[in-house]
Amino acid sequence: QKEVEQNSGPLSVPEGAIASLNCTYSDRGSQSFFWYRQYSGKSPELIMFIYSNGDKEDGRFTAQLNKASQYVSLLIRDSQPSDSATYLCAENTGNQFYFGTGTSLTVIP
Amino acid sequence: DVKVTQSSRYLVKRTGEKVFLECVQDMDHENMFWYRQDPGLGLRLIYFSYDVKMKEKGDIPEGYSVSREKKERFSLILESASTNQTSMYLCASRPAGAGGLTEQFFGPGTRLTVL
């Protein structure tokens, strides 16, 4: 059984700070990793994905992947109150995605 | 713009009823998925389908069945609803191929309550 672990939080950061969200996974054969944001009562929406070791930046978001440590992270720079949501980490192998339970983030104005 | 729609946002059913949840996607995706989401348990895969009339069990298929008669439509069936099936149900679709570099697109979800 593949496992994706996330700290459930809640994580609170002040507006303008950097939020750091972390995820570990059990399967060394995992191909790619996805970060989704989910607002309360809504469905998940993709923020970004990463498949190579290192960093990938998209606007205020940076995903980091370390395959040796089986670790994926998401950094949110200049956090805004609108970033308050649950963030889901998922790993993909073949057709299936395996999701973590999510980290709840609150950005305090 | 990819669109995944689900037949109901909110549904209330009685124990023992047969329940149909419908999902339609408009982007000709080969793969479709049904998840349930519960607090503290995250998204758990019930069934997925990689082609018309093809289906694979996910992690929690017990008490559920699926049907995919057309490429754009994937139905989840609760044969005899029970209170422990009260949950948020999310449908997703995804194109095949691309070496794992494509996302899953989610529908808006159906919040099912079984009384």
pLDDT digits (tens, 9 = 90+) for B97-108: 766 678 899 999
The predicted structure's pLDDT at residue B2 = 67
Question: From the candidates B8, B32, B103, which should be mutated to test the interface with A, based on the most A CB atoms within 10 A?
Answer: B103
The pLDDT of A30-39, averaged and rounded, is 93
Q: Do B48 and A96 touch (CB under 8 A)?
A: yes
Show residues of chain B in contact with A97, CB under 8 Å.
33, 45, 104
What is the 8-class DSSP label of residue B112? E
- B39 contacts chain A (CB < 8 A): no
Among residues of chain B, what percentage have pLDDT more than 70?
A: 96
CA dist list (Å): B10 to A44, B60, B94 = 17, 22, 24
Between A90, A95, A101, which is nearest B50 by CB?
Answer: A95
